[in-house]
Amino acid sequence: MNMDAIVSLCRRRGFLFQSSEIYGGLNGFWDYGPLGVELKRNIREAWWRDMVTSHNELVAPPGAPSPFAMVGLDCTIIMHPQVWKCSGHYDLFHDYMVDCRESKRRYRHDQVQGRWVSKEDRRIFVATELVGAEAEEDILHKALKFFGLRAKDAESLCWESPVVCLTTVDDFSRVLAPDAKTLGTLTPPREFNLMFKTYVGALSGEENTAFLRPETAQGIFVNFKNVLDSTRVKIPFGIAQLGKSFRNEITPRNFTFRSREFEQMEIEFFCRPESSRLWYEYWRNRRYQWYVDLGLSRERLRLRDHDASELSHYSCGTADVEYAFPFLAPGDFGELEGIAHRGDFDLRSHMEGKLVRQGDRLVVELGPNGQPKHRGSGRDLSYFDDETREKFIPHVIEPSAGADRAALAFLCEGYQEDEAPDEHGKPTKRVVLRLHPRLAPIKAAVFPLVKKDGMPEIARDIYAALKPLCNVFYDEKGAVGRRYRRQDEIGTPFCITVDSQTLSDGTVTIRDRDTLKQWRIRSDDCPAAILGLISGTTQIPE
Ligand code: GAP
């Protein structure tokens, strides 16, 4: 898997462009091109369909403790500022940054690493932003340069540590920053809140400050009562929402992996406290399987339980679905989705005010005047069970995924270079994007073999019949082998070709992108066949 090749394909074939590229781009912002927008829509639609609209609330799905309901919401990006004060984002949603006085560059404290090295009586920490083997190379190169040595003198350097994070270093006067030539140019780490600020209305004072949401989840919590009162859902049930979120990341990086504007797909699942562990297990496994079912290989995907030190102060358990992205060092994984057991933290925060942990209890945080530091809504967000006549605050399981990270993982997984016979039967290199048919931007391409003998007319009729059902592409230009290659490269799973046999018996060939198998069907049957192949109800013939 070669990240440069994937990035180049995304640009060349219109999956992803840098935002505002003609003005030099804007770091951390990405635009989806004509094919990228289809891929991302398909991911969102697969998630919405699989989690919400196709969910049958009358039966318990495999592994679920009981039947449950699922509904959706679409909330605003800008919400009442108190939402973020009570949720904890206003006080706590920050990263630490360090600035380099020499290069004027800014780094995330925990994303700089380096090695201690000495030469004679000088001991320094050589820092880099790179990872894996590239980090080792960069550190060696910088150390040689700093001490004025040539590569052949590398053995005179005494390495005192493996690659460690800058967070382990106390004395910054010994640090050679990633883009600096002199020592001690980094400022001490400073907190940086990741929420983007804006102003509501014409005045731009502190009172009118609002935030672009850094997650979609809070819209669900503050509408919990509205959903209960306006529908007939009963616990256990889930509320799903997908949409844009914004984080002013200090160092956006790795293509779209860490962006400043991105899309989330989140579920808040409300259940009784005593069954919450079982629901946590259910969602943890279900969400992992979703990625497998859509084509991510188990070899590159893992479900990692957080250890106690990683858990947020309110979380009773969290697991991440992680993918071995090709831009990471071997053995490293990047988060696709987190599944968190959040207890009653969120609903209580919006009732009572911002909570903090005191021993093993969550209590309202008080300000210097002894009053709640951030006052809650005062609304009763508890649930009344009319069968057991009990009133309680539901516990929450939160599967929270990123649509852009999912798109990136599917692109990375799908990208392959193999060999396939060209139109003369000669094996030639082929770039193929093995996207699951549900996710592929174009489901089928329709070709007349040649632009004569009535073939284009038949192909256009097939195209017209398919067009209302799914996204299809018509192409009559160039050699048919080249047309296949262009579709393989963008992940089109099926190609339909009208040839001379079509003129005599009304059949066309269907070619499968992955196996390269070709078989014939009646041209009238194309709509049913393509829909069946996409949904998996029709199998590719043996
Ligand atoms: N409500 C919980 C929450 O927001 P999170 O782990 O911060 O949890 C959930 O975010 C998911 O959102 C991540 O697993 C990731 O897929 C996506 N995500 C978070 N920050 C992102 C960023 N800067 N760029 C792209 N995706 C991001």
pLDDT for 261 equals 98
Q: How confident is the model at residue 329 (pLDDT cuts 50, 70, 90)?
A: confident
Contact 66, 236 (CB under 8 A): yes
Alpha-carbon distances, residue 29 vs 8, 11, 169, 259 (angstroms): 17, 14, 32, 6
pLDDT in tens, 21-65: 999 999 999 999 999 999 999 999 999 999 999 999 999 999 999
Confidence (pLDDT) at 427: 87
pLDDT tens for 512-527 read: 999 999 999 999 999 9
Question: Do residues 98 and 187 touch, judged by C-beta distance below 8 A?
Answer: yes
Q: What is the mean pLDDT of residues 324-343?
A: 94
The DSSP secondary structure of 203-263, one letter per residue, reads: --SGGGEEEB-S-SHHHHHHTHHHHHHHS---SSEEEEEEEEEE---SS-BTTTTB-SEEE
**Burial of 494 (C-beta count, 10 Å sphere; 0-12/13-18/19+):** buried
For residue 405, which atom of ligand 1 is closest to its CA?
A: 16
How much distance in Å is there from the Cα of 508 to the middle of ligand 1? 45
CA gap 228, 218 in Å, rounded: 16
Ligand 1 binding pocket, CB closer than 6 Å: 215, 217, 247, 249, 258-259, 262, 264, 266, 335-338, 398, 400-402, 404-405
CA of 401 to the centre of ligand 1 (A): 7
| Tokens at 300, concatenated | 């590159």
> What would the mean pLDDT of 445-474 be, rounded to a whole number?
97
pLDDT in tens, 135-152: 999 999 999 999 999 999
Asked if residues 101 and 199 have their Cβ atoms less than 8 Å apart, the reply is no
The reported pTM is: 0.92
Q: How many angstroms is it from 242 CA to the middle of ligand 1?
A: 12
pLDDT of residue 425: 77
- Backbone phi and psi for residue 263, each to the nearest 5 degrees, phi listed first: -115, 135
Exposed, middle or buried, 519 (CB in 10 Å: 0-12/13-18/19+)? middle
Q: Give the mean model confidence (pLDDT) for residues 287-313.
A: 92
What is the distance in A from the centroid of ligand 1 to the CA of 217?
11
Single-letter amino acid code for the residue at 94: H
- Nearest protein CA to atom 26 of ligand 1, as residue: 402
Name 207's Cβ contacts closer than 8 Å, sequence gap at least 6.
Answer: none
Please choose, from the candidates 414, 435, 432, the residue with its C-alpha nearest in 3D space to the C-alpha of residue 534.
435
For residue 314, the model assigns a pLDDT of 66
Continuous segment of H or E residues that includes residue 466: helix 455-466
Q: What is the pLDDT of residue 161?
A: 87
User: For residue 214, which atom of ligand 1 is closest to its CA?
Assistant: 4
pLDDT at 131: 86
**Do you know the residue count of the chain?**
542
Closest residue CA from atom 8 of ligand 1: 400
Going by the DSSP 8-state scheme, the letter that residue 171 receives in this structure is: -
**How far is it, in rounded angstroms, from Cα 32 to Cα 442?**
15
Question: Which residue shows structure tokens 């600020």?
Answer: 197
Mutate which of 244, 259, 262 for ligand 1 pocket (most atoms within 8 A of beta carbon): 262
In this structure, the residue with its CA closest to atom 2 of ligand 1 is 400
Secondary element (H or E) of residue 113: strand 113-119
Please, what is the angle between helix 455-466 and helix 526-535, to 10°?
50
User: How crowded is residue 490: how many other Cβ atoms within 10 Å of its Cβ?
Assistant: 23
